[in-house]
Structure 1
Amino acid sequence: MLFVDKEHIKDTLRDYCVQEGFALVVNRSKELRYTTVCADERCRWRIHAARLADGHTWAIKTMKQKHNCDLNLVTNPTVNCEWAARKLLEDIRANVDIRGKTMNDLLWDRYGVRMATSTLYKMKDKAIKSSKGVMMIPTQIYQPTFKGLIDGCRGLVGVDGTHLKGNFGEILLSAVSLDGNNEIFPVVVAVVDYENKTSWSWFFHHLKAALTASGRSDWTIMSDRQKGIDPSLDQVWPKVPRRYCARHLCENFKTDYPGVLMHKLFWSVVKSCSQWTKWKFDPTLCNDEVTNNFVESFNSTIGVRRIAMVRHATRQHLSQQWVEPCICPNIREGEIFDKRV
């Protein structure tokens, strides 16, 4: 029996071990020779292969085919992530949300083996990355969301990244705006491998295309001082106005100005409502937010798709019960409070 190279014979032996229900141990692995034996020390099964004179092809020289051990390994140590990813690759491609139990059932039905659930999800991650390279799920923006953003939201868009809790890790990049009632309005989300200049540039490219497609231009991007955001905006969207989260700026000040006094003075200035302190705020934006909390509160919810859908449905239902359609409740209550003060 001939093989293309050494890796070919190793893969074939692994398939054979799974098929027959035993594990093997590599006894000798050199440039010209490859010898394996059964993992059961009582068994005399052995196979020896060598490279032929052409320098590439391998062939089995000797093989003791008879086993005198129990050929019934359900959890076979020969079954690793690479092997399982190769066998279940098409199933994972067809359904990236496939559950661990389903994958285990497929392995059992086809090959008579099982794997630990945690190992299965690691294997699934490897299969996805091997088939797609860098995993970047296209930006999700739907027509009703886009229409609500353009017609009913302020021009302030906060962006932030957060780690996803799960077997795959990954980073969730999100853009969130505020509607006419000063409540959270999710705009776009994306999942990337790393939070760096490359991923942020890709994200801002799609965000810019979506926001500017309507012809509306009064957009302002708010962010923390996360590495990669400013260089990406300089490259992709250099003319867009920017704001920085005051809470993150305050954290940066603590390094050079420790103590409570600096903290109190900083927030006294930030929260001041005089015309002088806010003269630089864009009047067309109609928003004086100084922190990125509304984006981070959105990121704190892991079930992004479900949360966004429930939020939109709830807001629509409540808005239909408003008595005064011209002024939103939160804005009206804020005006009443300002008059009392």
Structure 2
Amino acid sequence: MEFLRLNKKVTVAQFMEKVYLELNVNIIKHQASKTFMKAKLLIHGSYKNQYRKLWDYCEELLTCNPRTTVYMETILDESSGKDRFLRLYICFKVLKRGFKVGCRRVIGVDGCHLRGPHPGILLTAVGINANDCIYPVAYAVVEVENKNSWKWFIEFLKYDLSISEQKSWTIISDRQKGLRSAIEEVIPEVEHRHCVRHLHNNMKKLHPRQSIKNRFWACARSSYMRRFESEMEILREYDGNAHRWLLDNTNPAHWSRSHFREAAKCDILLNNLCESFNSVILEAREKPNLGMLESIRVYLMERLKTKRVKS
């Protein structure tokens, strides 16, 4: 247990080698995996018991961080007659205040799978500050990634960030399932950009050549309309099918700089904001819900302190 507590990134193969070197015993992979599972339960506690502590955790967050938005939603389990955890949204007061004061009105949203004992999706909203660094804003644990869960998350974001002048706001995403419909219902006038890398990943399934990728990116980077039209014409002459795929499946307003609004003062084409944040919390996503939430909170607290001291 202590070995795994101090060596969080150790693999099963490395653990099997350690057992052989120290005890001169060969164990099979299944035995090592069961040992890992038992040790993690001792370190993090039973995930079933952690669910019982979620209400206390939410109350403690509100007590220590007044005016923080913490909302947990439950559903009645008909078989047992008890409430069952469904969703949890968290947006700290200091993050809301910092975003409104010092960040551009650009938000990246993304969803990633939880890798711990409880299946679910972690939805994140990450902004960009005046120094072009990521600025985490809010996160939520939901049961599945669909229109309903995204609409629930976007409604909280709209309230916390006071998104009233919608035409001056921009959201960038990876075209997640149900997100576009949710945005059109909750904040229909906000500019919605699509990550160009994700868009090309869909395109290259039918048109995989590097030359087409280069011409597609030239279209995306075009900063004015005539340049965009010229690059699209070059793509059409080179490969009419790829050109037709773009026209049929996409809208340039979502992925080309030539069509972006000027209000955001930001021309990013990739959703690297959320990708960077998700990579940082990769280890936290392997823990049970309570341990994951606390790990994210500690990371945000330490990050804010480090940035403040540095500035």
Q: Above 0.5 in TM-score?
A: yes
Task: Evaluate the alpha carbon distance shift between residue 289 and residue 213 of structure 1 in structure 2; reply closer, same or farther with a 3 A threshold.
Answer: closer
1:161 aligned counterpart, secondary structure: strand
User: Partners in 2 of 1:296 and 1:166 — Cα distance?
Assistant: 19
Which of 65, 81, 87 is 1:136 aligned to?
87
Q: How much has 1:301 moved relative to structure 2? A: 2.4
Task: Evaluate the alpha carbon distance shift between residue 259 and residue 190 of structure 1 in structure 2; reply closer, same or farther with a 3 A threshold.
Answer: same
Q: How much has 1:291 moved relative to structure 2? A: 0.4
The equivalent of 2:183 in structure 1 is 233
Q: How much has 1:134 moved relative to structure 2? A: 4.9
Task: Evaluate the alpha carbon distance shift between residue 243 and residue 307 of structure 1 in structure 2; reply closer, same or farther with a 3 A threshold.
Answer: same
Matched, 1:298 2:277: yes
Q: How much has 1:242 moved relative to structure 2? A: 0.8
Matched, 1:95 2:46: no
**Deviation digits for residues 202-250 of structure 1 (CA, Å, limit 9, x no counterpart):** 1111111112268786221111111110111122222211111000111
The equivalent of 2:309 in structure 1 is 317
CA contact (8 A) 1:221 1:240 kept: yes
Question: Where does 1:19-38 land on structure 2 (aligned, <5 Å)?
Answer: none
Q: How much has 1:96 moved relative to structure 2? A: 4.2
Q: How much has 1:89 moved relative to structure 2? A: 11
Task: Evaluate the alpha carbon distance shift between residue 314 and residue 160 of structure 1 in structure 2; reply closer, same or farther with a 3 A threshold.
Answer: same
User: Partners in 1 of 2:211 and 2:48 — Cα distance?
Assistant: 61
Question: Where does 1:257-276 land on structure 2 (aligned, <5 Å)?
Answer: 257-272=207-222
Task: Evaluate the alpha carbon distance shift between residue 317 and residue 226 of structure 1 in structure 2; reply closer, same or farther with a 3 A threshold.
Answer: same
Question: Where does 1:152-167 land on structure 2 (aligned, <5 Å)?
Answer: 152-167=102-117
Q: How much has 1:94 moved relative to structure 2? A: 4.5
The equivalent of 1:3 in structure 2 is none
1:188 aligned counterpart, secondary structure: strand
CA contact (8 A) 2:166 2:190 kept: no
User: Partners in 1 of 2:216 and 2:150 — Cα distance?
Assistant: 30
2:305 aligned counterpart, secondary structure: helix
The equivalent of 2:152 in structure 1 is 202
**Structure with more helix by fraction:** 2
Scaled by the length of structure 2, what TM-score is found? 0.58
1:225 aligned counterpart, secondary structure: coil
Equivalent AA in structure 2 for residue 211 of structure 1: L
Q: Which has the higher contact order (CA 8 A, sep 6+)?
A: 2
Q: How much has 1:185 moved relative to structure 2? A: 0.1
User: Partners in 1 of 2:208 and 2:48 — Cα distance?
Assistant: 56
Equivalent AA in structure 2 for residue 301 of structure 1: V
Q: Which runs of 5+ in 2 are unaligned?
A: 1-45, 57-76, 229-256, 285-295
Q: How much has 1:260 moved relative to structure 2? A: 1.3
Scaled by the length of structure 1, what TM-score is found? 0.53
User: Partners in 1 of 2:186 and 2:194 — Cα distance?
Assistant: 18
**Deviation digits for residues 65-121 of structure 1 (CA, Å, limit 9, x no counterpart):** xxxxxxxxxxxxxxxxxxxxxxx99965652499xxxxxxxxxxxxxxxxxxxxxxx
Which of 280, 287, 292 is 2:259 aligned to?
280
CA contact (8 A) 1:150 1:216 kept: no
User: Partners in 2 of 1:308 and 1:260 — Cα distance?
Assistant: 39
User: Partners in 1 of 2:180 and 2:129 — Cα distance?
Assistant: 25
The equivalent of 1:12 in structure 2 is none
Identity of aligned residues (%): 36
How many correspondences in the alignment? 202
Task: Evaluate the alpha carbon distance shift between residue 274 and residue 241 of structure 1 in structure 2; reply closer, same or farther with a 3 A threshold.
Answer: closer
The equivalent of 2:132 in structure 1 is 182
**Deviation digits for residues 18-66 of structure 1 (CA, Å, limit 9, x no counterpart):** xxxxxxxxxxxxxxxxxxxxxxxxxxxxxxxxxxxxxxxxxxxxxxxxx
CA contact (8 A) 2:222 2:258 kept: no
Equivalent AA in structure 2 for residue 311 of structure 1: R
The CA RMSD over aligned residues, in Å, is: 3.0
User: Partners in 2 of 1:246 and 1:306 — Cα distance?
Assistant: 32
Q: Which runs of 5+ in 1 are unaligned?
A: 1-87, 99-125, 320-341
Task: Evaluate the alpha carbon distance shift between residue 130 and residue 268 of structure 1 in structure 2; reply closer, same or farther with a 3 A threshold.
Answer: farther
The equivalent of 1:307 in structure 2 is 299
User: Partners in 2 of 1:310 and 1:153 — Cα distance?
Assistant: 19
The equivalent of 1:39 in structure 2 is none
CA contact (8 A) 2:195 2:271 kept: yes
Task: Evaluate the alpha carbon distance shift between residue 281 and residue 196 of structure 1 in structure 2; reply closer, same or farther with a 3 A threshold.
Answer: same
2:135 aligned counterpart, secondary structure: strand
Equivalent AA in structure 2 for residue 135 of structure 1: L
